[in-house]
Structure 1
Amino acid sequence: MWLAALTAAQAVRDVFTFVPGFVPWNGESPSTFVTWVGVSTGFSAMAVAVCVGSTSVRAAAGRFADGLGLWPTSRRQAVRWAAVGLATAVALWAVAQLLPYLPSLTSVPSAEDPRDIAVAQTSTLIRFGYGLIAPAPLEELGFRGPLLALWLALLAAQRRGSWMARRWVRWWLMGAATTASTIYFAAGHTLGGSANVAHAAACAVITTAVTLWQRSLVPALAGHGLYDACAFAWG
């Protein structure tokens, strides 16, 4: 189900190629949209096949949503997630404003970055919508989703009293997984220069901390999406 959700998120990113006036800047195309829809459908079919005979598809989907904290259990929790998401967006914006003052970091001028040229040719409204719903779900599911699943598994092991309940084991595993995820995430943002890599690393650290703290992907999704929407729309 995680793979089905991940590929569906990729398809959402590429569906923007069908929006009039959208100029692709991340390799989006109608053919890749069709490809990702097919892959997502295939993974969904596999998930249904696995569920048949053991549990209902609805129950499995519910456990998946609960495991990633995709639905608030109360209005109070929804309000808290909204507040944490907004704070996350502000933190990401603050880091982006501070990074240019570090002399060791470099960035590619907008006039020389083909992605920025394509973005400039797309209307502000479309850029805002793309930033809000395209990159964040894919990146949070792909990078923070596995970390949240690992953290919840370690907490469950602690409750069972297994060897993984030892504090040094839990923190070593989470530290290694978080470091690897952060490095891999930052390495995918090299086109904008070292400043973009540094911001991606900071984004990974902030959203990972928020995800593990709230035990949900929603606040990080909201904050990451809001920041990207504003960054794409207004720079």
Structure 2
Amino acid sequence: MATQALRDAFVFVPGFVPWNGESPSRFFTLVGAGAVLGAMAVAVCVGNTSVRAAAGRFADGLGLWPASMRQALRWAAVGLAAAAALWAMADLVSYLPGLTSVPAAEDPRDVAVAQTSTLIRFGYGLIAPAPLEELLFRGPLLALWLALLAAQRRGSWMARRWVRWWLTGAATTASAILFAAGHTLGGSVNVAHAAACAVTTTAVTLWQRSLAPAVAAHGLYDACAFAWQ
């Protein structure tokens, strides 16, 4: 909810032309709903644990904050490499036979982007889509992977390699299909690249056991695509 509100906050930036449903009313609705849920969380946590401790466990569980400068640099390097891979795949996918793309003059994204400054487009691409999409689509996969690793340490039947890889593979496939299905705007080329993006960011997330490199890669790719497509 917070990431969606951050995305919608761009409607208050002078010169921004919304194309993805952003509006002041939705921004205030999300902020209000977030405040209500936050108050409920505080009420539930009173006497059990602090909100700060709960937030810390959430951030640590999804790898949203590096434990050291070395880890931060590693995540940054992995994110940059993954962003470069996404760019390479975007070029390769466009050459696949049978795929179609929507002309820039007819694509509502390109029409809106053409009316907004390069700096705003870059900032929107960097901040708006990636955190929300990675949290929704790669977050559950990371949680599943960490749960399976914990089961392995406990000696559970889920520790068996075939069970672990089958569950992860099925969840990854389902997530990639859903992610690709949400990117039909732009034609089948965009759908194919979204599927490749889902597989790449999932691999990075599970490898590093963190959402941070995937968010960085996704954000950098979107920022450059929005600013200089």
* Both structures adopt the same fold (TM-score exceeding 0.5): yes
Q: CA deviation at 1:215?
A: 0.3
CA distance in 1, matches of 2:35, 2:110: 33
Q: CA deviation at 1:99?
A: 1.2
CA distance in 1, matches of 2:121, 2:43: 38
CA distance in 2, matches of 1:196, 1:41: 36
Q: CA deviation at 1:46?
A: 2.8
CA distance in 2, matches of 1:28, 1:173: 36
CA distance in 1, matches of 2:40, 2:140: 20
Query: Where does 1:43-62 land on structure 2 (aligned, <5 Å)?
Result: 43-62=37-56
Q: Which residue of 2 aligns with 1:22?
A: 16
Q: CA deviation at 1:200?
A: 0.5
Q: CA deviation at 1:75?
A: 1.3
SS in 2 for 1:39: helix
Change (3 A) 1:130 1:170: same
Q: CA deviation at 1:232?
A: 0.1
Q: Which residue of 2 aligns with 1:225?
A: 219
Q: Which residue of 2 aligns with 1:136?
A: 130
68, 87, 92: which one aligns with 1:74: 68
Q: Which residue of 1 aligns with 2:187?
A: 193
Q: Which residue of 2 aligns with 1:8?
A: 2
CA distance in 1, matches of 2:135, 2:204: 14
Equivalent position amino acid for 2:72 in 1: A
Q: CA deviation at 1:43?
A: 2.6
Q: Which residue of 2 aligns with 1:100?
A: 94
Change (3 A) 1:50 1:164: farther
Moved more, 208-217 or 31-40: 31-40
Q: Which residue of 1 aligns with 2:210?
A: 216
**Structure 2 gap segments, 5+ residues each:** none
Q: CA deviation at 1:69?
A: 0.6
Q: CA deviation at 1:115?
A: 2.0
CA distance in 2, matches of 1:48, 1:153: 26
Equivalent position amino acid for 2:139 in 1: G
**Structure 1 gap segments, 5+ residues each:** 1-6
Q: CA deviation at 1:71?
A: 1.1
Q: CA deviation at 1:49?
A: 2.6
